[in-house]
Structure 1
Amino acid sequence: MATLKDVAQKAGVTVTTVSRMLNNRVNISEKTRKKIMDAMKELDYQPNELAQSLTKKRSNFIGLIVPSAKNFFFSQVIEYTEQAVVANGYKLLLCVSNLQLEKELEYFGMLKANKVAGVIIASHTQNLRDYLSFDAPVVTIDRIISPDIPSICSDNYHGGELAAEHLLGCGCTSLVYLSGSAGLDMDANKRFLGFRDTCEKAGMESPLFIDASEESFISMHYEAMIEELFYDHPGIDGVFTSNDIMAAQLVQYLSAQGKRVPEDVKVIGYDDTDLAALCTPPLTTIHQPVKEICSAAVDYITDALNAADTAKASRSAHGPASGGRTMLPQSVMFPVSLIKRGTA
């Protein structure tokens, strides 16, 4: 494997010159720059960007923390965030916490030590505001940690309203909401509030509320909860779930029990992941624009960095600014929509 010294010898320059060029610390002539770049290409030399970050005020990486990489929703978050990060000239550092606070704190330490340009938090771990102390911008996806930390969410409350309106419009009279995170302080819990409020406004009884365990969320196995639900409440004719995985397993269970979907039981999922269109029948679900949400999160970080750089340049040129700092939006909410397919 080629080293910095190998590149310097090949290019006929000093190791210091190569290092300074890679870290943009001094102006290098185009002739010298080309010699170094040609040597790097010929030797297949790959700079260690994490190591370089130790000599800079910030690195070229943006960190993303998610609770799971297996979950269909979070796999989309990873994919779309990576696309947006690369499009903005950065690289992604992915951290999977599996809902473990200790693991997440280790990731925070690693991200801080490597001077990431920003951090996107899409995990479910609670009480994070007590541990966050970053010089870099931080933004959350689908949760609100603190008024001081920007959040990018979808309109979860309206998603619940849409699900209730559709099931009631289909003639359902015995409704249930299956949640994957009710015990956690998440913006997604507003889905049930919108669902419940719409049912009550229509003169219906408040729907049943069933919550899955954190273990079920990580393993993506909800079968035992679903079996117990229909054993205790066999007359249910309309179900709204907090994610598409739960809805897909529900449809599978009902089919095995000889119940027809949507004739006997109507089912609505949430997220509109790729899984929704692959089920039999395909899932009716609430679509949230995951790609746009992830792009907005990355845009917030890059806008914050650009604003900080502009302010710094202005101070260097003109002295301390007389006005306040550039204000960026603290929260963004994206609209959701009902995608009607075959389960409701």
Structure 2
Amino acid sequence: MSTLKDVADRSGVTITTVSRMLNNRGYISAKTKKTIQQAMKELNYQPNEFARSLSKKNSTFIGLIVPSASNMFFSKIIDCTERHAQENGYKLLLCTSNHEEKKEIEYFNMLRANKVAGIILASHTGFLDAQIPDDAPVISFDHTVSAKIPTICSDNYQGGIIAAQYLIKRGCRKLAHISGSAKLNSFANLRYTGFKDVCEKEGIPHIVVDASEEQFISMKYEGTINSLLDNNPETDGIFASNDIIAAKVITACKKRNIRVPEQMKVIGYDDIDLCTLFTPSITTIHQPIEEICSQAVKNVILFCENKIVPTNITLPVTLIERESTK
């Protein structure tokens, strides 16, 4: 692999001159630039963009910390964030923590040490809350770090209301909610609050079962779902806190010869691609992931430009009707 020194030697200039040209510092004649560029091409030299970014006052890198890259929801978060970062002239540094405290803290400290433009925190464990200064360029997704750290989320409470109202409208009389993990300090827990408030107002019997953090990472919800169906055979409508759980519910129902949607109606949350790939297709609460990621990147840029960053942004959700409730 060619080095900066190799380029300098091939060009007949000093390493400092090559560095100045790469970082656009000081005057370099057009002839010298052309010579250096030709040498880089001949040597197939690729500048270390991360190192160059660190040498500048303003970094062109944004850090993203997620609990998982295999989970389809977070895969979409990663994809959308990378695209919006690239469109704005930034590159993404991805860190996956698997909900491990040590990894989250190490990743956060690494990103800070390398002076990234900002950090988008999509993990909800709370491990980093005490580590993050109030003036840090951090944007939190679906989780409150502190009163001064900006957050972005969908309207989780309204999503729960919409799901419960729709299941009742479709004739369900005994409802259940499967929570992603109530132990996590996440706005997503408001989905159950909205769901519960509607059920209590309408006098509809309901239960909630809570999945664990381990299930959130492994996506193995079968035990929780089977226990729910065994202990509550009269349940005829389930609101799952994410689409992966909803898909697992439908699979469990098929194995028990419970027909969806005739005997059991199922609603998910997020509206990931799985919803249209699954049979029956999954009715869900659409979370505006594209807008969330776009706004997160915009907020990082506002930080960099020393402009005011909105402290709390809540984006609306919508019901997407598909086969699992019709």
Shared fold (TM-score, shorter chain, > 0.5):
yes
In the alignment, which residue of structure 1 is the partner of 2:153? 153
| Amino acid corresponding to residue 164 of structure 1 in structure 2 | A
| Amino acid corresponding to residue 246 of structure 1 in structure 2 | I
How much has 1:209 moved relative to structure 2? 0.9
CA offset digits 1:207-239 (Å, max 9, x no partner):
211000111111100001111111111110000
8 Å contact kept, 1:116–1:136: no
CA distance in 1, matches of 2:208, 2:179: 7
8 Å contact kept, 1:3–1:45: yes
CA distance in 1, matches of 2:22, 2:28: 10
The count of corresponding residues between Structure 1 and Structure 2 is 325
Instruction: Choose 21-30 or 169-178, whichever is displaced more.
Output: 21-30
How much has 1:135 moved relative to structure 2? 6.9
1:327 aligns with 2:308: yes
In the alignment, which residue of structure 2 is the partner of 1:76? 76
Instruction: Choose 20-29 or 171-180, whichever is displaced more.
Output: 20-29
8 Å contact kept, 1:2–1:43: yes
1:286 aligns with 2:285: yes
8 Å contact kept, 2:58–2:304: no
How much has 1:75 moved relative to structure 2? 0.3
In the alignment, which residue of structure 1 is the partner of 2:217? 218
CA distance in 2, matches of 1:136, 1:193: 31
Partner of 1:110, secondary structure, is helix
In the alignment, which residue of structure 1 is the partner of 2:324? 343
In the alignment, which residue of structure 2 is the partner of 1:321? none
- Identity percentage of aligned residues: 56
**Structure 2: tracts of 5 or more residues without a match:** none
CA offset digits 1:88-126 (Å, max 9, x no partner):
111110000000111111101211121111100001221
In the alignment, which residue of structure 2 is the partner of 1:236? 235
Q: Could you state the TM-score of these two structures normalised by the residue count of structure 1?
A: 0.91
CA distance in 1, matches of 2:60, 2:35: 24
In the alignment, which residue of structure 2 is the partner of 1:314? none
CA offset digits 1:231-283 (Å, max 9, x no partner):
11111000000000000011001011011000101000010000011111000
- TM-align CA RMSD: 1.5
CA distance in 1, matches of 2:24, 2:147: 37
CA distance in 1, matches of 2:275, 2:27: 54
CA distance in 2, matches of 1:60, 1:229: 48
8 Å contact kept, 1:112–1:134: no
| Amino acid corresponding to residue 162 of structure 1 in structure 2 | I
**Matches of residues 55-94 of structure 1 in structure 2 within 5 Å?**
55-94=55-94
